[in-house]
Structure 1
Amino acid sequence: MNEQQKYEICKLRNEGLGYTKIAKEVGISVNTVKSFFHRNRNKEPMIKDKDIVGYCENCGKAVVQVKGRKKKRFCSDKCRNEWWNNHKDMVNHQAIYDFTCKYCGKKFSAYGNSNRKFCSHSCYIKDRFGGDDYE
């Protein structure tokens, strides 16, 4: 159970919903909701230092923010990955490097590694072990 689900459970319980309705709303089993409340019944409320600061940019669900942490834009890793995969034009690729292959002489670009020497694994193998014998 993640922090978002814990927050939703506490919020729905404060609104007066029962275990079954909370479980259906959050999408977890009734026994998980019951266990959560029985384990935390003598502790401070879970939502004391949290607030809804906005809504997920991908699915629109409420995003819970923990005070003192970086502002969240997404409700989960799944939503974050989905959003970035659908908005690749907004990704700022600053680490794109241009190279010339040490073996075949072909020009190529690569992201992230500034020390590349070969355009492919096959060129590396050919250079390392000698020519076209290893194809």
Structure 2
Amino acid sequence: MNDIQKTQITSMRAKGAGYKSIAKELGISENTIKSYCRRNNLTSTDEIKVIKDNKVFCKNCGVVVSQNDKRKMKQFCSDKCRMAWWNSHRDRVKHKKVTVKACPYCHKEFEVYGNSDKKYCSHDCYVADRFGGGRR
């Protein structure tokens, strides 16, 4: 696979083309296309980063993101952009199992993600119940 074909694959994926149609058009094996797309984070068409002239643009604000060699490809220009993007795309967050529990101190219900051993809704309730704080 040459550089021209790689550029064509990237642009076709950005336009929403599937592996089979790209393979057919370029005359390359479908598995080769899949492997290239997985290695370059082009797996799902709605998650494709805009890449032009070997530049990656921030998914949130569109600024060019500087990359470090031999490291995972950055998708965001800053932590602020990363958090803003994930907060506006909450449906894509893969939460662990959600458990609803009742706090033994204030009796308020709260959700626990993953760690089902959590007993209190907050540190304040823990301290108050365990060491006799004046709240209640």
TM-score (normalizing by structure 1): 0.45
User: Which of structures 1 and 2 has the bigger CA Rg?
Assistant: 1
